[in-house]
Amino acid sequence: MEQVWIAFGLTLFAGMATAIGSVIAFTARRTNYRFLSVSTGFAAGVMLYVSFVEIFHKGLGALQEAYGEPWGHWINAASFFGGMFLIGIIDTLIPSAENPHEIHSEKETAPLRDPSAPLPDFGAVGRVGRGSPEGVHDHARGERKLLRMGLFTAFAIAVHNFPEGLATFLAALQNPSLGLAIAVAIALHNIPEGISVSVPIFYATGNRKKAFAYSVLSGLAEPVGAGLGYLGLRVFLGGDSAALPTPVTGVLFAGVAGIMVYISLDELLPTSRAYGRGHDSLLGLVGGMAVMALSLLLMK
């Protein structure tokens, strides 16, 4: 039972990083975009390396034990692509008014931390269109539409965080050290999400507490998703034992690997490229892989 609480704690830590992003938006005098680029690239490196080198093979080992050759390989590959398909379906079906990882300029985030700072002239931005000041988005859409955009962004992130939370939880349940590495990667991934939830909700409501609260709620979806997913699996598949059956564990690990690869390629790397310049994204990616490789070697 202690291992379950450790896994849940790591998942909670990963989810609450959205609050860190919100705090950065409200307090930092300047947003360090290069840090965001390197950190999201680092998170992608960790997740890609651990997915292909560790989690995918854990799933394969469990499925080979349950089904033998060659069916263990076939089921493992099907589960991997099934995980990618699942998160892809979520991406397609969940409405998101704007890209949850869009960059918000210094001019946009300044009023969040300084009440005396002038609001950007979003009306002018809307009239000028692409000739608008660099980094300032078109928010000329009215308070109700802006609030809707912020809430949809929070909702989209929350739904995406459900499978992320379950992935972190299952990895930590199997191996706390591995779970810690994944939790750190997910946490780095969630920092820009906290910023992207806070900005539109603040401009729509003028309420810093409300913007922060929605940012926190979107991150809480990770531990909630982990808890509900684990309880559901225990009730329907786990029986009286605290452990899940070996075939279920194998399918889940292969699926989790697919989910993490999809998140890395579809969200983290494009975000890292958008925030950085030069080879910032690549440096973060290789650094994440190297740190993950070293940590796995030290655990042997």
Torsion, Cα of 128, 131, 137, 139 (10° steps)? 0
Residue 113 confidence (pLDDT): 58
- The residue with greater pLDDT, 9 or 103, is 9
* Token pair for 84: 């990618």
Q: How confident is the model at residue 176 (pLDDT cuts 50, 70, 90)?
A: confident
pTM of the model: 0.69
Q: Which range has the worst mean pLDDT, 32-36, 123-127, 155-159, 228-232? A: 123-127
Q: Phi and psi at residue 216, in whole multiples of 5°?
A: -65, -45
* Token pair for 58: 């854990």
Residue 125 confidence (pLDDT): 41
Is residue 99 predicted with pLDDT exceeding 50? Answer: no
The per-residue pLDDT for range 42-86, each reduced to its tens digit, is: 888 888 988 898 889 888 988 998 898 899 999 999 999 998 998
In terms of phi and psi (left: phi > 0; alpha: psi -120 to 50; beta: otherwise), the region of 68 is left
Nearest to 18 by CA among 225, 158, 136: 158
User: Mean pLDDT over residues 172-196, rounded?
Assistant: 78
Q: How far apart are CA 270 and CA 242, in angstroms?
A: 39
In the block, tokens 């029986």 appear at: 239
Q: How far apart are CA 233 and CA 20, in angstroms?
A: 31
Q: What's the Cα-to-Cα distance from 273 to each of 22, 75, 203, 258, rounded to whole Å?
A: 21, 34, 26, 22
- The residue with greater pLDDT, 135 or 88, is 88
Q: Could you tell me the residue ranges of all domains in the chain?
A: 2-299
Q: How confident is the model at residue 127 (pLDDT cuts 50, 70, 90)?
A: very low
